[in-house]
Structure 1
């Protein structure tokens, strides 16, 4: 058994979203993205399907150039290779579920370059 917390040891970066791998299993990775209000992750794609959960706060989640407002408790599933972006309306905690073959470093690079 593995355990993790979306709220323990929570740290925000002043200039960009903070990325932390919380769990890694045989089938996937669970990543926490901590956004301060107005922080963004520019448009990007993932080669594999993802699931995004808004654990706390509110996010504009752009898909193919159209923004969708997601609030605490909302989930979205997205196929691979679909352009998307995120913009924090409020301070927010986002849980990102990745395929095992996907890379947490790729997510970190998106945040650093946004």
Structure 2
């Protein structure tokens, strides 16, 4: 059994989203992305399917040039290879569910380069 919290010890970076691996299981990884208002993750793709949950706040989630206004409680699932970007409309906590074969380091690089 593994236990993690989306709300404990949230850390924010001044200029970019903060990535933290909360849990790794046999099948996937659960990652928390902490955004301050107006922080972005530039357009990128993932090699595997993902599920994104807006746990707190609101995010403009761009998919192939279409903006989806997501708020607390919303979920979005994407296949691998789909271009997408994120912009925090307000301070937000996002849960990202990754395939086990995907890399949290890849996600961190996207945040650092945004």
TM-score (norm 1): 1.00
How far the C-alpha of 1:67 sits from its partner, in A, is: 0.5
Q: What are the within-5 Å matches in structure 2 for residues 1-114 of structure 1?
A: 1-114=1-114
Q: Structure 1 residue 49: deviation in Å?
A: 0.1
Q: Give CA-to-partner distance per residue, 1:82-106, whole Å, 9 cap, x none.
A: 0000000000000000000000000
CA displacement at 1:81 relative to structure 2: 0.1
Aligned partner of residue 31 in structure 1, secondary structure: strand
In 1, the alpha carbon distance for the partners of 2:92 and 2:22 equals 16
Alpha-carbon distance, 1:77 to partner = 0.4
Instruction: Give 1:28 shift.
Output: 0.0
Q: Distance in 1 between matches of 2:85 and 2:67?
A: 9
**Residues in 2 aligned to 1:76 and 1:111: alpha-carbon distance in whole angstroms:** 19
Query: Mind listing any 5+ residue stretches in structure 2 that lack a counterpart?
Result: none
- Return the alpha-carbon distance in structure 2 between the equivalents of residues 10 and 105 of structure 1: 18
Moved over 3 A (4+): none
How many pairs align?
Answer: 114
Which segments of 5 or more consecutive residues in structure 1 lack a partner in the other structure?
none
